[in-house]
Amino acid sequence: MANYLLTGASGFIASNVAEMLLEAGHSVFGLDNNNDYYDPILKFYRLDKLKKMSKFSFVEGDIENLDLLEKIFSENKFDAVLNLAARAGVRYSLENPHIYMSTNAQGMLNILEMMRKFEVKKLVLASTSSAYAGAEMPFVEDLPVNLPISPYAASKRAAELMAYTYHNLFDIDTSIVRYFTVYGPAGRPDMAYFRFIKWIEEGTPILIYGDGSQGRDFTFVSDIARGTVLALNKVGYEIINLGGSNPVSLNKMIEIIEDLLGKKAIRNEQEFQATDMPNTWAENSKAKRILGWEAKVKLEDGLSECVKWYKDNKNLVGKIKSGLSK
């Protein structure tokens, strides 16, 4: 069994990855600063579940803190690092671009330096489909992705490039997994599906940027977590898409939620945002070839799980004070 450092451990995707690793018998050392980009009540909800599992330990802290990272690496022997810590949110990156660079890029550099110093030879880095802005679809990993349209995407691309540099110089085996519109129970409240479920159920107008025709390659969180765990395999250096490879319009997603709730949405359409991509679509042949991975959960089934979680946790959702209006 292995011992892994997992950053962003309280986050939506990372907490699912942690659970999968722990259930397989591995040890997971979690690190997260539990920042308030969205209400930390959800992060503590996820963290409390993990703390009930054996072989999980946790420190609250920031990957920007090099001294803390050095202490963690000096006191633990890690077989690999999964860096899922990141400042999320494409639109918010326009309001505060500096924290995106300091966390997503500088934080990645700090981790790489510790891996070099303490000779940890395997990295899994979570990246984003936002890197493909302006590219032809379906998105293939070897496309030149040098035209990011948001500070968020630029900072994640910077992290990818730094990871390649350390792979090249110090032989760190590196899997970069580009996630496509991840959704699921207990997800981020700033994501459209989370807000739409709440707003449609309570009769609040749903905020749509554009006319809803934009397409997203929605991918259920359990599929993403499984692909991330598989990316711990030795690959050399690879960028790998993890996406449903079945893009669906925002309007279709809304229709499914309406059917699940038995209620019609009240629409409030606003101007399309310059930082948003019109469509995303993952080409997954590399994930199938290298990891033996493909998405399994259909959107209807995944959204059904989200609606069930929402109904079972209305008290928790009612306490969320941020993230539902961004």
Q: What is the set of active-site residues?
A: 152
Q: Which residues pair with 125 in a beta bridge?
A: 83, 176
Give whole-number Cα distances, 201 to 58, 301, 304, 323, in Å.
36, 18, 14, 17
CA distance 290 to 173: 14
Q: Which residues pair with 269 in a beta bridge?
A: 208
Query: What residues contact residue 47 under an 8 Å CB cut-off, 6+ apart?
Result: 9, 10, 15, 30, 32, 34, 58
- Strand-pair category, 219-220 with 122-128: unpaired
Pure H helices in 60-125: 66-75, 92-95, 97-100, 107-118
* Closest listed residue to residue 177, CA positions, set 232, 253, 102: 232
231 touches 175 (CB < 8 A): yes
* Closest listed residue to residue 225, CA positions, set 74, 4, 16: 16
Complete DSSP assignment for 15-47: HHHHHHHHHTT-EEEEEE---SSS-THHHHHHH
Give whole-number Cα distances, 158 to 102, 108, 151, 297, 309, in Å.
11, 9, 10, 31, 36
155 touches 168 (CB < 8 A): no
Query: What residues contact residue 231 under an 8 Å CB cut-off, 6+ apart?
Result: 124, 175, 177, 240, 291
